A and B are shown apart, each in its own frame.
Chain A
């Protein structure tokens, strides 16, 4: 860990002549990555999720410059990162409960028995009715319910870094207020974690 990467949760330095902006976010707390174009947003998310930047681009994740990492190091780093897409990233043939526990069933099946109470607690804390939401398929959910389901899914994994796309337009004021509480609820569960919001300007 070099001196300039210590204390950095997410560092993204594109080539100077590419017209893209630099993102440099400290460890801990909730931050905005600032407004960026859709294409840069896609490249940034892809680089973070693959733990592999494009050529001539520098990527720092959780204090580690990923350029010098081998496969095992990249995989270990990836396990500490979660991504929340604008639409929640749900599978359409699974209901909310099945969507929430899918990654946990793969990565931590031993933790499944106690997960129902955690899910219920998180949903109630964010103003949703667990009985109503958990049985719904994505086609019957509102945009906020999809985002909330995706959020609960990643919150259960207690990642060290959360990269969240801003919510899709169309939320009412109550839903916007609830979505604005996502970072605080995450930081209550993971006090040392970092929540990064991506503000992507959609290209038409």
Chain B
């Protein structure tokens, strides 16, 4: 329990440090590191992540329509409530954890064990400035961008599928979608996924820089800690966000008394 508290405190301190040190992004090596992180998380993974996200999003719509025997209005509401607000950001976050979270933790833990983090200190470079700040900002921006891609393709795929399975045309569904969806839904999901990305990178960087030992065995342990804790944090943030913004959590099972 004390260990969990210390890790939480460490991540919070790291978050505070990143916020204070954002101006360091203007330094050439950090700016280059940020560009690499955005390329790795947001660009090179786009096709795979968006395709998987779209597949999962479309599958959810297909199941829900089948089980609930939905009409056009209900199908669109499900698209907005489930895919746009919740599943889109969550799918993007889970895929970022799988791909970038593991890579970040493993890379930083290896750098720590091989003495490269100490080399940075010997150069009078704070490892948090060079290794953590660009990764947190890069993963946060990339997760927000990936969420938008996933939403567009999943909602588009969902509407296409709905038009084939229920008695409504694609035009009717699109009209219904634009009538029901509000900018709040979009802004909410983008801000939420930005925070998901920042949380994932912070937790993974923290565990990468604090592996549980100095042998090579510590690397997979650090990666497991990073992945499991960032997944839990994303789910927790999702619940808190849903409750704060819409007054409900767990898809409406918990509702705020406003």
Residues of A within 8 A of B (CB): 49, 78-79, 83, 85, 89-93, 98, 101-103, 105-107, 109, 112, 153
Interface of B: prevailing SS: helix
Task: Annotate B109-120 by CB proximity to A: 1 below 8 A, 0 otherwise.
Answer: 001001110011
List the A residue with the shortest CB-CB distance to B119: A89
**A105 x B122 contact (CB < 8 A):** no
Closest Cβ–Cβ distance, residue B104 to chain A (whole Å): 12
List the A residue with the shortest CB-CB distance to B24: A106
Closest Cβ–Cβ distance, residue B193 to chain A (whole Å): 27
> Which bucket holds chain B's interface residue count?
10 to 19
8 more A-B contacts (CB under 8 A) besides A90-B119, A91-B120, A105-B27? A79-B124, A85-B119, A91-B119, A101-B28, A102-B123, A102-B130, A106-B124, A106-B125
Residues of B within 8 A of A (CB): 27-30, 107, 111, 114-116, 119-125, 129-130
**A49 x B122 contact (CB < 8 A):** yes
A107 in complex: contacting residue of B111, B119, B120, B124, CB < 8 Å? B124
CA distance A153 to B30 in the complex (A): 18
Closest Cβ–Cβ distance, residue A32 to chain B (whole Å): 21
Chain A-chain B contacts (Cβ-Cβ < 8 Å), number: 47
Contact (A92, B116) CB under 8 Å given A85-B122, A102-B123, A106-B125:
yes
Closest Cβ–Cβ distance, residue B1 to chain A (whole Å): 33
**B119 x A106 contact (CB < 8 A):** no
CA distance A184 to B164 in the complex (A): 79
> Which residues of chain A are near B122, meaning CB under 8 Å?
49, 83, 85, 89
**B116 x A106 contact (CB < 8 A):** no
**B121 x A102 contact (CB < 8 A):** no
Closest Cβ–Cβ distance, residue B36 to chain A (whole Å): 9
B124 in complex: contacting residue of A91, A93, A103, A105, CB < 8 Å? A103
List the A residue with the shortest CB-CB distance to B29: A105
Contact (A49, B121) CB under 8 Å given A91-B116, A92-B114, A92-B116:
yes
